[in-house]
Amino acid sequence: MFLALFIFSVSILQKQFPIIESNIDGLSQRLELLISFTKRDRIDPSGQERVMVYEKFMNNFSSFFPAGEKNYKPYPHNQFMEIIMRWGLFGLPLLFLSVKLYLKSFKHVNVNNYTVKPVATIIIVLFLFSYFQSMTSLSLEMNRMLWLGFGFLISYKK
């Protein structure tokens, strides 16, 4: 039921906002590209770049403590790695807050909630999408829905 409501909402929004349609088209093209690379036993160039960044992170992990690395490049396409690279030990409160709010979001998205508070549910679902996306793409500056979701969940009472 929730999935049907979500798909219906996206289809309505897609007609109202062309940018949503272009983002969905871009996502489907990206997924098709990834599937085509998988079928040929080749590595997607973007995926290979991420693997190289992850290896750089693991090889230099100890250098990020205690204060992180100034002007780190390239960004790691993963919020946890980016927080550690950027702030080192000083980023631990943000890491804990991130996980805590992720878990809190599941308390508010349930079968009864979407009929009572549809706007809150949509914001939380967008936050969850952004949270998962933050594990594989976008820097912390670019993931505005993640920050909107953090703020919403901090202030949201059941």
pLDDT, tens digit, 9 for 90 and up, residues 121-148: 888 888 888 898 888 888 888 888 899 9
Q: Quick count: other Cβ atoms within 10 Å of Cβ 135?
A: 12
Does the predicted TM-score (pTM) go above 0.85? no
Predicted confidence band at 150 (pLDDT cuts at 50, 70, 90)? very high
Mean pLDDT of 81-106: 91
- The span from the CA of 154 to the CA of 146, in Å, is 12
Residue 40, pLDDT score: 59
Q: How far, CA to CA in Å, does 42 sit from each of 54, 115, 155? A: 19, 45, 45
Peptide bond into 74 cis (omega under 30): yes
CB 67 within 8 A of CB 87: yes
Amino acid identity at 110:
N
Q: Is the pLDDT of residue 97 over 60?
A: yes
Q: Rg of the chain over CA atoms, in angstroms?
A: 18
The pLDDT tens digits for 54-80 are: 888 888 888 888 888 887 777 788 899
